[in-house]
Structure 1
Amino acid sequence: MGKANINMTFDLKELSSLFEKSNSLDDFLQSAVSVVAYHMRSAVCSIYIYDDATRMLTLRATQGLEKEAIGQLELPLGQGLVGLAMKELRSVCAGRAADHPDFYPVAGSGEERYPAFMAVPIRRQLSRVGVLVVQDVQPDYYDETDEMVLRTIGLQLAAVIENAELLMGLHRRKEPPAARPVEAAPEQIKGLPASDGIAMGRARLIVSGRAGRFRAPASAPSTLTIDDFDRALAKSERQLKELQIDAGEMLSDVAQLIFSAHLLILADEKFSGEIRRLITSGISPVDALVEVVNGYADILATSTNQRLREKEHDLKDLGHRLLENLIGGDRAQVDYSGQIILADTLLPSDVLKLATEKAEGFVMQGGVTAHIAIICRSLHKPMVMVGPEMFARIQDDSELLIDGIQGLVFVQPSRKMRAVYLRQRQATAKLESVPSVKTETHMADGTRIRLYANINLLSDLESANSFNAEGVGLYRSEFPFLIRDAFPTEEEQYQVYLRIVQSMGRREVTFRTLDIGGDKLLAYQGGVEEDNPFLGLRGIRFLLRNKDVFSEQLCAMLRAGAGGNARIMFPLVSSIDEFVEARELVRECMQQLERRGVAYNRETKLGIMVELPSAVAQAADFAKTVDFMSIGTNDLIQYMLAVDRTNAMVSRLYLAYHPAILRAIEIVAAEGKRFECDVSICGDIVRDPRMIPFLLGAGIDKLSVAPRRMPDVQRAVEAVTMQQAQSIARTMLGFSRISEVEAFMKNPAPVPAPELPQ
């Protein structure tokens, strides 16, 4: 709210007089926050000072936050709302800070008591000095006038701080400088966020697993014998069997046999026998292992069979394990703890293996690959995608810190930076350990909104239940397919689907049938290669072409739904004809199950994913034909804007808030309401709290999101009334330019305070 009739400005002379009365820069800053808090009528005022060498902001003075945080609370450039104001050199104002997409909680600061937030950069021309922050207990406390005044104060502070630091520097020259260790400034690499979270550790480069020759280290012992090789062989087999057991317990739906290729090669007498023959002929065990592995790799690499070519990676991975068990390397512990994987290409099975081996996180070269990113999110493993030039700058064994929230990679991070991120990771873990999601979600005026979970792996079910999901809005059924060497049988699929239905009880579960193609390819598709796979045989097209595969999956889903509340949804549907053909196959499967005497859900509802421009154009026709529609925004954005979301060169054009996308969502929601067809939305657009008011105002009342995102989404829903959301949606739908939408999202027009229900 505005603070009219109060002269909040004060001049440079007043600030200078504060410094003259201070004994140090910190004394001056502490006096300044008290004065600013008084003039701004704010409960909190804080000043953060920026260190350009470490790229860190440190809380140097505060009135209102915990005093213990002074000198201890540090934020890297770009982290949280304070870091955002400093990085982009602009004001940041939030009526409720926790609802802002860049909000990052800092445990122990006491900031949670003050939802209203405003920050302005303290700068001298383009030089970063620090950030001035005010906060208050009353939400939506600050307006444009307050922002203008605080910017003015920030400019005045910059001049005084600069002079104060100069004066303090002259005083310090009179004293001998204290010896202190010098740390190299960390290199910051900006990439694309693929999976949330923070990871720290040493870089482990496995790019050579797919390219180049398998090599032995120069320091390999020369005294090894054939007995040493046999011991390494037996030890590797034990390790892989233990890993397979651990993976099966952790990821039962997708981890079956992910180490099978390694074990089969170990059991191959020709493989081990060839190595023994070379050792017997006088070649050292290390050289014999390298020669045989490279020989097999050459055969696999030149194969015309895609499945065999993929096994080259398994072979080299096994070679590294054998080698390190042979020479006693660090891999002998079968543990990637404390290591971050660098790779040019990874298969879903690679990610599962490395996660089982306790890898901390991933840095991958290239654009965001959807299925790899989704698996990492389910495994709670941070991932950042970087371009080839940036990837080449990261050296093997260098210390890394990756921020999967902002898509940042820090090479050789400072101790301070590691400590800051460690505290933030601990604060996030604490928040997630005590889920704050209510069993029902309501807008500020009491309007009921339903919040569902996206499920990728069975391990997500525990989180979905912990966060009080009202059901499963999207189960991506392709993951058990992606990591196998053959299609899972009907019975194998049924066991997976049944666990989901049982976990949800009577809550609604939406199964999406197999969605492969594009960037989601099966290793056993018979060597199918397409010039443009995103426009080729994927989604419902693949299923209707392979009805035997489709029928087995439908039967498994229908059986799992018996006694539950399950629905079936078809992906990438472009026409009514495709839906009708799929619906007829469902009916045939029901008749087949009837003949077999197997129980199934006779009331199974059938729906579609709205992901294509053609489906949007026929939204009314679909709304009259299907039982429900779910807007899949990830592919909808890609196909409407003709932007390959895995292509780093055009990733900046992949915009959820493009006017065409906003209007498409509104069209589908309106047609669904007109014909009483249930409409929900899933995809990454729901992860952005800034988009929640638009979605609600456009008519979407069912949201499906990754379980860990549910607290943020619920808070965003609770922060607005339906009247406010509709006003925001009308405004955003009226824009014709991307820049207009961006400007509005950064500084949305003030809306009346929510009218709480009586």
Structure 2
Amino acid sequence: MDSEQLLYEVNELNHLFRDSTTIETLLDKAVEMVAARTHSAVCSIYLYSPEERVLTLRATRGLNPESVGKVRLRLGQGLTGLALKEMKTICEKDASQNPNYRFFPGIFEERFDAFLALPIARGISKMGVLVLQRGTGESFIEADIRALETVASQLANIIENAQFLLGMHEPRPKRPPAEPLPAAQMKLIKGKVAAEGFAYAPAMVIDKQKSLSFLLDRRFEGQYSLDDFHEAVARTAAQLEELQERVESKLSDAASLIFAAHLMILKDKAFIDEIARRIESGVNPPVAVAEVSGRFVQTFLASDNAYMREKVNDIEDMAIRLVNNLIHAGEDTRIYRGHVIITRDLYPSDLLKLSSEEACGVVLVGGGVTSHIAILARSLAIPMVIVDHFDLLSLPNGTPILIDAEIGNVFVDPEDQVLDTFHSQQRVRLTVDEQAKRIQPQTLTADAVPIRLLANINLLTDLALAAKLKCNGVGLYRTEFPFIVRTTFPSEAEQFVIYSKVVDSMQGKPVTFRTLDAGGDKILSYYHDIQEQNPAMGMRSIRFSLQNRAIFSEQIRAILRAGVDADLRIMFPMISSVDEFCRAREVVLESLDTLARQGVAHNDRPKLGMMVELPSVVELIDDLAREAEFFSIGTNDFIQFMLGVDRTNDSVADFYLPHHPSVLRALNKIVRAANQSGREVSVCGDMAHEQQYIPFLLGIGVRTLSVDPAYLLRTQQTIAGTSVPKAEATAQAMLARNRTDEIVAILSAQPAVD
């Protein structure tokens, strides 16, 4: 192979492409040149579309020329797709023997055994693959590979420039969408657990970007009348009101009107009249609903008001319900009932809708495991797995799906053997009553050291389970949920009703209210005063509350009134300095003074504490211990900010490491300072219920853990199997290491606890 001449000629392509009328002409020249200089029977170039995640054959010398533009591979599919996905060169003496080999009939590549695929990329941007093939006994040697990797690098620069310059003058051709992978090629997909449980049911794919367009493209066989339409409107309104009642029952919160927008649209005279006029002109009612709804969607999307743009989801959901009631009159038209939902976007209100209609489980494509959606799913007892496998969005509706949200597996059309295992696991799962029988009223370590086990409360329905499982109180009530599920800020009176139920359910046990933790991944859809590039580090949590003192004061007064006779604790989130804590405390003191002057019954001696979530407080912890009466370590955010890792971004999930040496040493410093100052310190993030980390937490002196009610029994059992001396030895060994792999080895060596 004349590698020097090849490199020279490829360089010359930079000049030649100016004379090419299309990218195709340029690529044809490239494959001819590379094939000739490398003495290869075949040279092909595949270009990658990041929007479609598809590789398309764009030029070849040696294969059937009619295959150009027709051979398409998803990222990771076949040896060619695998080379680009893993960004590595693949060299095979006999490609057909590799299990990843993909055969395409009619392109005539079966005559060639030796195979070489080289990814074409610019930095981390995937651009395509250069593929060379030879006959039997003509394998590529190391020198060939090194030279061709350089060629692929040069091609990346040429292709990038050519696509940019030529793209300015010619429209990109429309390509047919890639065919979805059959279920057989998606048998087992590994994901991450967001909310534990199992589910086996037919799939329903919800892609918000396509839901209404699907309705517009659908052909309706039946013909329906104007009377049918009006009857469908009435049925839809009745169903939505019933669903609203069901949601209120689940939340124990009558103000959470998540279906209010749907009902308002149904009662909008202009909306109904426009559909009726189209029906009277001869348009089939389901088509009329889809067309008018589509026009409303476009109007809302064009609005400058972000709240109006978000209402698009409600219009689409309502339109689908209305059409289903038209064509399935008299049938159960709860859309999601008895299905595993597969979707890429999910808001808290969406999850409440799924729960109200008795969806079996959720597969969320993309997203962060520790996001607020996951916390809400746990409270609603909806099994949820998060996966990075976008092919699932093209899965046919009705495909059987098994979610194992204990370990994070999703099985597509599972085999009988897998189902047998699933059913046996279901039989041994403990019911709430069985958990209540097993849990002990006091949590003790193996050497009888008492540990306080508190409950995190997200929705009011969590309270019954927490009480049944004998928790020692509420270590964290997330007050943002009553804000998130509404369409506007809840009033002081509404908050008082909710908070009173939290206090009453604990019957004298301590109750910790965390003040509003809005922002980041906890979006208030009705608040759009600030548009931020990086909301996780923007106007959120205590910053938001201090900037909106009227809202903050209303919340504090509602908490103080609700906790009149309680062991009441108020906790401020995302405190970054002593000054910030003191400003937040001042709001409480002002509220106490206001309620006293008004003669309103309230708790006049609440304990005031803070969440430890920001690295800035680590060096101030001794100073803060002189101001705050207690600390609660929110490990999810603490790890995120300590390591600079967005916990809702799946692409950097591997960098989110609770066992990072800096995280462990910082936790040790915080707990030691709190204990020396006589301040109670608890852990309320995910580390508190993760079995592998509990010995470390006990070993550094944590004696209070706060976990979601579903984890109370398991956490107690883990504590019961751990002695403090062994935990201290484990913690010291972990703190002495400065490499995460060494810490992983220590964690792996810990005995499992049943």
Greater shift in the superposed pair: 602-611 or 251-260: 251-260
Partners of 1:655 and 1:459 in 2: how far apart?
Answer: 31
State the secondary structure of the residue aligned to 2:631: strand
Deviation at 1:429, TM superposition (A): 3.7
**Equivalences for residues 485-496 of structure 1 within 5 A:** 485-496=487-498
Partners of 1:341 and 1:284 in 2: how far apart?
Answer: 29
Deviation at 1:611, TM superposition (A): 0.3
In the alignment, what sits opposite 2:207? 207
Identity of aligned residues (%): 42
State the secondary structure of the residue aligned to 1:313: helix
**Equivalences for residues 166-315 of structure 1 within 5 A:** 187-208=187-208, 213=213, 215-216=215-216, 218-253=218-253, 256-315=256-315
Q: What one-letter code is carried by the residue in structure 2 that aligns with 1:465?
A: A
Greater shift in the superposed pair: 478-487 or 410-419: 410-419
State the secondary structure of the residue aligned to 1:453: strand
Pair 1:218–1:614, CA change in 2 (3 A): closer
In the alignment, what sits opposite 2:374? 373
Partners of 1:498 and 1:341 in 2: how far apart?
Answer: 35
In the alignment, what sits opposite 2:104? none
- Does 1:400 find its partner at 2:406? no
Contact 2:365–2:390 under 8 Å retained in 1: no
In the alignment, what sits opposite 1:359? 359
Deviation sequence 1:156-197 (CA, Å, 0-9, x none): xxxxxxxxxxxxxxxxxxxxxxxxxxx968711112211111
Contact 1:204–1:396 under 8 Å retained in 2: yes
Deviation at 1:616, TM superposition (A): 1.5
Partners of 1:295 and 1:536 in 2: how far apart?
Answer: 35
In the alignment, what sits opposite 1:550? 552
Q: What one-letter code is carried by the residue in structure 2 that aligns with 1:698?
A: I
Which residue, out of 592, 595, 603, partners 1:593?
595
Contact 1:340–1:363 under 8 Å retained in 2: yes
Greater shift in the superposed pair: 341-350 or 626-635: 341-350
Partners of 2:713 and 2:719 in 1: how far apart?
Answer: 10
**Equivalences for residues 726-737 of structure 1 within 5 A:** 726-737=728-739
Q: Give the TM-score, by structure 2 length.
A: 0.73
In the alignment, what sits opposite 1:457? 459
Deviation sequence 1:107-166 (CA, Å, 0-9, x none): xxxxxxxxxxxxxxxxxxxx9xxxxxxxxxxxxxxxxxxxxxxxxxxxxxxxxxxxxxxx
In the alignment, what sits opposite 1:4? none
Partners of 1:467 and 1:734 in 2: how far apart?
Answer: 37
Pair 1:532–1:329, CA change in 2 (3 A): farther
Contact 1:204–1:341 under 8 Å retained in 2: yes
Partners of 2:372 and 2:254 in 1: how far apart?
Answer: 13
Contact 1:324–1:330 under 8 Å retained in 2: no
Q: What one-letter code is carried by the residue in structure 2 that aligns with 1:363?
A: V
Contact 1:221–1:327 under 8 Å retained in 2: no
Greater shift in the superposed pair: 721-730 or 312-321: 721-730
Which residue, out of 701, 704, 712, partners 2:703?
701
Q: What one-letter code is carried by the residue in structure 2 that aligns with 1:504?
A: M
**Equivalences for residues 651-662 of structure 1 within 5 A:** 651-662=653-664
Partners of 2:230 and 2:618 in 1: how far apart?
Answer: 62
Q: Give the TM-score, by structure 1 length.
A: 0.73
Deviation sequence 1:525-545 (CA, Å, 0-9, x none): 125210111110111111111
In the alignment, what sits opposite 1:511? 513
Partners of 1:749 and 1:248 in 2: how far apart?
Answer: 44
State the secondary structure of the residue aligned to 2:246: helix
Deviation at 1:396, TM superposition (A): 3.0
Deviation sequence 1:327-386 (CA, Å, 0-9, x none): 118984325332011111111011001110111111112122611111100011011111
Partners of 1:693 and 1:384 in 2: how far apart?
Answer: 27
Partners of 1:331 and 1:203 in 2: how far apart?
Answer: 20
**Equivalences for residues 422-441 of structure 1 within 5 A:** 422-430=423-431, 433-435=434-436, 436-441=438-443
Deviation at 1:268, TM superposition (A): 0.6
- Does 1:721 find its partner at 2:723? yes
Partners of 2:731 and 2:416 in 1: how far apart?
Answer: 45
Pair 1:599–1:417, CA change in 2 (3 A): same
State the secondary structure of the residue aligned to 2:738: coil
Deviation at 1:748, TM superposition (A): 3.7
Deviation sequence 1:191-242 (CA, Å, 0-9, x none): 2211111111111111136766252564513421111111111111111111
Contact 2:324–2:333 under 8 Å retained in 1: no
Q: What one-letter code is carried by the residue in structure 1 that aligns with 2:503?
A: V
In the alignment, what sits opposite 2:415? 414
Q: What one-letter code is carried by the residue in structure 2 that aligns with 1:376?
A: A
**Equivalences for residues 13-92 of structure 1 within 5 A:** none
Greater shift in the superposed pair: 447-456 or 367-376: 367-376
Deviation at 1:430, TM superposition (A): 3.5
Deviation at 1:422, TM superposition (A): 2.5
Segments of 5+ residues of structure 2 without an aligned counterpart are: 1-98, 100-182
Deviation at 1:316, TM superposition (A): 0.5
Partners of 2:537 and 2:203 in 1: how far apart?
Answer: 36
Contact 2:196–2:378 under 8 Å retained in 1: yes
Q: Could you say which structure has the greater relative contact order, defined with CA pairs below 8 angstroms and 6 or more residues apart? A: 1
Contact 1:616–1:667 under 8 Å retained in 2: yes
Pair 1:602–1:643, CA change in 2 (3 A): same
Contact 1:609–1:630 under 8 Å retained in 2: yes
Contact 2:452–2:472 under 8 Å retained in 1: yes
Partners of 1:255 and 1:210 in 2: how far apart?
Answer: 31
In the alignment, what sits opposite 1:447? 449
State the secondary structure of the residue aligned to 2:641: helix
Contact 2:205–2:395 under 8 Å retained in 1: no
Aligned length: 570
State the secondary structure of the residue aligned to 1:457: coil
State the secondary structure of the residue aligned to 1:689: coil
Partners of 1:462 and 1:557 in 2: how far apart?
Answer: 20
Q: What one-letter code is carried by the residue in structure 1 that aligns with 2:399?
A: S
